[in-house]
Amino acid sequence: MGMLSEFREFAVKGNVVDLAVGVIIGGAFGKIVDSIVKDLIMPVIGRIVGGLDFSNYFITLGSIPADYKGPATYEALSKAGVPLFAYGSFITVLLNFIILAFIIFMMIRQINRLKRAEPAAPEAAAVTPEDIVLLREIRDSLKR
């Protein structure tokens, strides 16, 4: 029973729960960043470099089947089983990572700035002036 209770204590600790929440939020945040890169940034960059979609930048590493009649796009060729060197997809993932890292950097930077802006602990205010202490002592001695 000792190990089971230890595991239960470990599983419900705040750090484990915080980590689980972080992973879930991180997954959702990753999808948002992926959509930003795929749907907003990459079309603009693709337009600048010639109107092509980066996901269609690839090199065919094998032969295309003779009976293949579909389009020569990354998605269609990979479904047909043609081995591809998809450097365009890698560029998209790399941009996704750079944007995500930059956003996290900005968040951490802002958190650190807020931590520095917090006022100092009110230790100086906790010290009672001498005259107040003396008056309290006089009051307490008169009560006796």
CATH, residue 107: 1.10.1200.120
72-125 residue pLDDT tens: 888 888 888 889 998 988 887 888 788 878 888 888 898 888 887 766 655 555
Amino acid at the residue 71: P
Report the C-alpha gap between 88 and 42 in whole angstroms.
10
Whole-Å CA distances, 42 to 38, 94, 103, 106: 5, 11, 17, 22
Report the C-alpha gap between 43 and 39 in whole angstroms.
7
Considering the chain, what percentage of its residues have pLDDT values greater than 70? 90
37-61 residue pLDDT tens: 778 887 887 788 776 667 778 898 9
pLDDT of residue 74: 84
Q: Does residue 10 surpass a pLDDT of 80?
A: no
* Domains contained in the chain, number: 1
Q: Which residue range forms the structural domain that includes residue 27?
A: 2-143
Q: Does residue 30 surpass a pLDDT of 60?
A: yes
Residues 41 and 95 sit within 8 Å (Cβ to Cβ): yes
